[in-house]
Structure 1
């Protein structure tokens, strides 16, 4: 992987096959212009709708890691008139890549669960609390 630094957002995303964004969540006036992105780009916003606004989302196959939760947050004021997700992110794993641009609005549910679980285990081990269970083999 090669990393380049630029102060020009358009230069950073234009013609790139994969675009990962990571702004603070809730920023305004920071949406990417859909014309800057490759028509076949995979767009992975880590910042929800701070970078990928409704206009860009409507130009793509829009998926989410947890569709019901995505539906609950996409109607918030920061999201504008954001379209509904057309599928779960996991649906794309066993299927051919859809044609055109793909936006994966992953809310981080699974990752959050792992982070919290690791913190609980670390705290329990640090305090000598809890019991290790042998779950056996299935």
Structure 2
């Protein structure tokens, strides 16, 4: 929530915060632990080892690359939020949801889509909706 608060404070009048996100539990952000093969080539392999922690809403992983040079590890931790939680955190930090399309084409967001774009503006601002140029 502190990051949303910093964004809200940094926005000038008419400014927007745009977030591209995957829906937790969808094909874009599966909530499961396991070993996942990402890519295999003639002389390399990329694998993700993922642990899901539903209590902290986190996915912790090691991104592993194996090739002729050896093995490289990259630790990644992703904290996810569900849409109602994101909207609540935004409202507490004086941001209001202005639009939630399913992608950059601004098509409407149906609940089954794995990704969405969120457009927030500062709540103290009046008018100036998305597309009002």
TM bin (shorter chain): under 0.3
- By relative contact order (CA 8 Å, sep 6+), the higher-ranking structure is 2
**TM-score (norm. length: structure 1):** 0.25
**TM-score (norm. length: structure 2):** 0.25
- Higher strand proportion (structure 1 or 2): 2
